[in-house]
Amino acid sequence: MEQKSSRNFDLLTLGQVLLRLSPPDNERLSRGDTFVKQVGGAELNVAVGASLLGLHTGVISKLPAHDIGSFMKGKIRSFGVSDDFFMYDHSPSARLGIYYYENGAYPRKPKVIYDRNNSSFFSLDINEIPQEVYTASKCFHTTGITLALSEQVRETTIEMVKRFKAAGTLVSFDVNFRGNLWSGDQARETILKILPYVDIFFCSEDTARLTFLKTGTAKEMMKSFTEEYPISIVASTQRIVHSPKLHTFGSVIYDAARGEYYEEEPYRNIEVVDRIGSGDAYISGALYGLLSSGGDCAKAVAYGNATAAVKNTIPGDLPSSNLDEIETIIQAHNATGYQSEMAR
């Protein structure tokens, strides 16, 4: 796995930053008088998680040039994530994407309502992205959410993926399939166009089967991506939902150059408070593991699993663990097998 040490950033992510509005406690979206403001967006979540672990990260995005944009910018900076590559929309109709989230409580499911169409990010054009971005970072990460947003954003993203790859940047991509943004067929058709440029690929077993129509075991499917495309690393997370508030989380990583799979005992009996963003937290930990070690997949599994497991226990989209916390949790996980013992 090649890393260019002269690059200023370890990780740049591309995506829409979203304002999340949730009624407090278990109140419903259709009732109540108050919303809690939170900050989200899959690619921002990854940049925040990796920054808290110690990587130098930034987000490439487009925000409205008004107070709501400033609120987001302040929040993002407070996590040490750079706004060097923010573009601003000065038009009178500039707006930030919003999503409304209602917490679930068994047997009522959680609810997501997007209000993001035609927000400022949707006008992101390849010509407004500064050329220096393509050589600014060791790794570039984006997701299927960004590709799903609009034709304009899709074209910009595909072109950026190609330019980052051509500039020698490691390209990381998470399918992150959202059925409320596009269909499986649309996702497959689009993502297959960028897989020739992807180095690190995050794809769940369900998505491999349902979206990419793969068959076989989870490990066979992971390997098959690397046989069809020049992908170096495939990571797949696994979640078992024992009850709405009690989950098991683990992952497998396949290293194509070594022809080896890496996995560890999963985290069991996670007390889930808010699972949103835990997949992104996993990616932040896995990329930290890879980028801080020159491609050690065992480290990626350990840091990815621990960062995701902890995120599940915290409200909001963003990870909040620093390196000390994650390393303490990894040590406890390895030494005592506490989570494993509890399940036996």
Ligand X SMILES: O=C(O)C(=O)C[C@H](O)[C@H](O)CO
Q: Which is nearer to ligand X, 137 or 146 (CB)?
A: 146
How far apart CA 304 and CA 267 sit, in angstroms, is: 11
Cα–Cα distances (Å) from 59 to 4, 45, 242, 285, in that order, read 19, 10, 35, 17
Q: Are 52 and 320 in contact (CB under 8 A)?
A: yes
Distance of closest approach, residue 5 Cβ to ligand X, in angstroms: 30
| CB-nearer residue toward ligand X: 154 or 163 | 154
CB closer to ligand X out of 277 and 289 = 277
Smallest distance, ligand X to C-beta of residue 60, A:
15
> Distance between the two ends of the chain, CA-based, in angstroms?
38
User: Has 199 been annotated as catalytic?
Assistant: no
d(CA 168, CA 119): 32
Helices 42-53 and 297-311: crossing angle in degrees, nearest 10, is: 110
C-beta of 247 vs 333, nearer to ligand X: 247
- Of residues 25, 280, 296, 324, which has the active-site annotation? 280
Spatial separation of the C-alpha atoms in residues 187 and 199, rounded to whole Å: 19
Least CB distance to ligand X at residue 47 (A) = 12
Which residues does 128 contact at the CB level (< 8 Å), separation at least 6? 62, 87
- CB-based closest residue to ligand X: 40
Q: What is the CA radius of gyration of the chain?
A: 19
- Select 99 or 254, whichever has its Cβ closest to ligand X: 99
Take residue 51 and report the two structure tokens written for it: 């920054």
With beta carbons less than 8 A apart as the criterion, state whether 90 and 115 touch. Answer: no
How many whole angstroms separate alpha carbon 171 and alpha carbon 27? 40
For the bound state, the minimum distance from the C-beta of residue 149 to ligand X, rounded and expressed in Å, comes to 9
DSSP 3-state of 332: helix
Pairing of strands 260-263, 246-255: antiparallel
Q: Which is nearer to ligand X, 59 or 136 (CB)?
A: 59
Q: Encoding tokens for residue 239?
A: 């979640």
- 3-class secondary structure, 67: helix
Q: Map residue 175 onto helix, strand or coil.
A: coil
> Applying CB under 6 A, which residues contact ligand X?
18, 40-42, 45, 99, 145, 178, 276-277, 279-280, 317
Residue 276 is given by DSSP the state: T
> Which residues are marked as active site?
280
